[in-house]
Amino acid sequence: MSETVDKPRSFQEIILRLQAYWAAKGCAVLQPYDMEVGAGTFHPATTLRSLGSTPWAASYVQPSRRPTDGRYGENPNRLQHYYQYQVLIKPSPPDLQDLYLGSLKAIGIDAELHDIRFVEDDWESPTLGAWGLGWEVWCDGMEVSQFTYFQQVGGHDCRPVSGELTYGLERLAMYVLGIDHVMDMPYNDPDAPIALSYGDVFKQTEEEYSRHNFDAANTEMLLKHFEEAEAECHALLAQPAEDPKTGKRIIMVHPAYDQCIKASHLFNLLDARGVISVTERQAYIGRVRTLAKACADAFVQTTAGGWTPEVEEA
Task: List interacting residues with another protein (CB under 8 A).
Answer: 1, 3, 76-77, 91-94, 97, 111-120, 122, 132-135, 139-142, 149, 151, 158-161, 163, 175, 277-279
Comparing CB distances to another protein, the nearer of 98 and 242 is: 98
Comparing CB distances to another protein, the nearer of 98 and 227 is: 98
Comparing CB distances to another protein, the nearer of 22 and 123 is: 123
Q: Rounded to the nearest whole angstrom, what is the least distance from the CB of residue 32 to another protein in the complex?
A: 28
Comparing CB distances to another protein, the nearer of 181 and 225 is: 181
Q: Rounded to the nearest whole angstrom, what is the least distance from the CB of residue 114 to another protein in the complex?
A: 6
Q: Rounded to the nearest whole angstrom, what is the least distance from the CB of residue 232 to another protein in the complex?
A: 32
Comparing CB distances to another protein, the nearer of 227 and 280 is: 280
Comparing CB distances to another protein, the nearer of 151 and 205 is: 151
Distance CA(2)–CA(160), nearest Å, equals 42
Q: Rounded to the nearest whole angstrom, what is the least distance from the CB of residue 108 to another protein in the complex?
A: 12
Q: Is 90:51 a contact under the CB 8 Å cutoff?
A: no
- Which is nearest to 169 in space by CA: 83, 109, 42? 83
Q: Rounded to the nearest whole angstrom, what is the least distance from the CB of residue 119 to another protein in the complex?
A: 7
Q: Rounded to the nearest whole angstrom, what is the least distance from the CB of residue 153 to another protein in the complex?
A: 13
